Amino acid sequence: MTVLATPDKTGSGFPLGFDAILDPSPLQYLDEHGALSGALRDDAPELDPKELLATWRAMVIGRRFDVQATTMVRQGRLAVYPSSFGQEACEIGAILALRPTDWFFPTYRDCVSMVTRGIDPVETLTLLRGDWHCGYDPQRWRTAPQTTPLATQAPHATGVGLAAKLAGDDTVALAFCGDGGTSEGDFHEALNFAAVYQAPAIFFVQNNQYAISVPLAKQTHAAALAHKAVGYGMAGVRVDGNDVIAVRRVVAEAAERARRGEGPTLIEAVTYRMQAHTNADDATRYRDESEVEYWQARDPLARLEIYLRAAGLLTDDVVAEANQAAEELAADMRARLGEEPEVDHRDLFRHVYAQPTPQLLEQAAALQAELDAESDAERDAGNEAAR
């Protein structure tokens, strides 16, 4: 698979310039106007049209998913939804660069990447609808449950990577986290362990500039989050997080390095959280609309479309097919998430331990007795009313 022929721009031997990270300007192939950027203009890369169209199509569908989920939270069909609108290049580019056998560790903001992995949209949204903590089989999808405590999933990726290495498998583990998450101790410990053990792990930081209301400048004094890689002795790269071609290529390269036994990589993808933190947040309290407009002009999907149209790849038929697939997904979400989910109170006790403790069996029986008494009372009241 060749997405791009990647000429060595640094003279370092590393095609992506992993050793040039002290330059904080992010790696970019496609600029905000949809044109090949920088030196690549004069050294046209070889692009795989099928690959590019598949990436674009996944972004169209991913964005439609996000918009539909935001709508459904307003309708009360989801308890909460943290949108990743505008971060599709990260959400999709990173996932499409992985193999199905690789492990993926998403956060609460990464539903789009999970749908891109193939997980059913309703199973993806089970957590946010509130009928269980995780709706899919993590083993089947090699996707951990979404993590809410920040960066705590990062050492799990280190552990999976280390385990795969000890088992002699070529599995890679990729953990997402945000710019705020890099301040957590677990982020540091995960990266340090991964570097010490040369674990095949990728730490992909979606630097979307905000941790709820706190801007990046209050999160770090460093010129770039990718610089932290130097301190761990691992490869690091800063990439334009709204350039899906660059994101996909960088993750693919990091994964290949990991598979070759060359250890972990820290990727900082510079992007922007277009929406508020969640539906419960009010972004106007802490940022100007002009800032949002600046990033609107750098939209990842728009710039790819410009490029693909200019290249003659994006025909009306292709667009129509993708839009239809996106609308079908949205209609399916409306239909299935519109139904009230069935929940079973017995699930409260079933999975706490492999074998429930005697105390849990007692408590399960007590809850059952309470519910039986309630339904008896309801039935009696019903009979009374019928008379």
Partner 1 sequence: MTATLDGAAQSTEISLAQAVNRALRDAMTADEKVVVFGEDVGVLGGVFRVTDGLTRDFGENRCFDTPLAEAGIMGTAIGMAMYGYRPVVEMQFDAFSYPAFEQIASHLAKMRNRTRGALPLPVVVRVPYGGGIGGVEHHSDSSEGYFVATPGLHVVTPATVSDAYTLLRAAIESDDPVIFMEPKRLYWSKDVLDTDAPAIGQAAVRRQGADATLIAYGPTVQTALEAAEAGAAEGFDLEVVDLRSIVPFDDATVTASVRKTGRAVVIHEAAGFGGTGAEIAARVSERCFHWLEAPVRRVTGFDIPYPPPKLERHHLPSVDRILDAVASLQWEDR
Binding positions for partner 1, rule: CB under 8 A: 103, 132-134, 137-139, 144-145, 149, 152, 154-164, 166-167, 171, 173, 185-186, 188-190, 192-193, 196, 347, 350-354, 357-359
The least CB distance from residue 144 to partner 1, in Å, is 7
Distance separating alpha carbons of residues 351 and 134, to the nearest angstrom: 13
Q: Which of 77, 117, 142, 273 is catalytic?
A: 273
Q: With respect to partner 1, which residue has the nearer C-beta, 62 or 200?
A: 200
Q: Which of 277, 298, 303, 307 is catalytic?
A: 277
Of 48, 46, 55, 36, give the one whose Cα is nearest residue 1.
48
Q: With respect to partner 1, which residue has the nearer C-beta, 139 or 290?
A: 139
**Tokens (6 digits) for 243:** 């350039």
Distance separating alpha carbons of residues 178 and 150, to the nearest angstrom: 8
The least CB distance from residue 304 to partner 1, in Å, is 34
The least CB distance from residue 109 to partner 1, in Å, is 18
User: Do strands 214-215 and 210-211 pair parallel, antiparallel, or not at all (unpaired)?
Assistant: antiparallel
277 part of the active site = yes
Q: With respect to partner 1, which residue has the nearer C-beta, 352 or 381?
A: 352
Specify whether the CB–CB gap between 144 and 138 falls below 8 A: yes
Q: Which residues of 35-67 are buried (b: 16+ CB within 10 A; e: fewer)?
A: ebbeebeeeeeebeeebbbebbbbbbbbbbbbe
387 part of the active site = no
108 part of the active site = no
The least CB distance from residue 158 to partner 1, in Å, is 5
Q: Which SS3 state, helix, strand or coil, does residue 237 take?
A: strand
Distance separating alpha carbons of residues 120 and 135, to the nearest angstrom: 9
Distance separating alpha carbons of residues 335 and 286, to the nearest angstrom: 36
Residues 6+ apart with CB under 8 A from 102: 142, 171, 172, 173, 174, 255
The least CB distance from residue 102 to partner 1, in Å, is 12
Q: With respect to partner 1, which residue has the nearer C-beta, 345 or 350?
A: 350
Specify whether the CB–CB gap between 272 and 208 falls below 8 A: yes
Q: Which of 286, 287, 334, 336 is catalytic?
A: 286
Q: With respect to partner 1, which residue has the nearer C-beta, 93 or 161?
A: 161
Q: So which residues are the catalytic ones?
A: 273, 277, 286
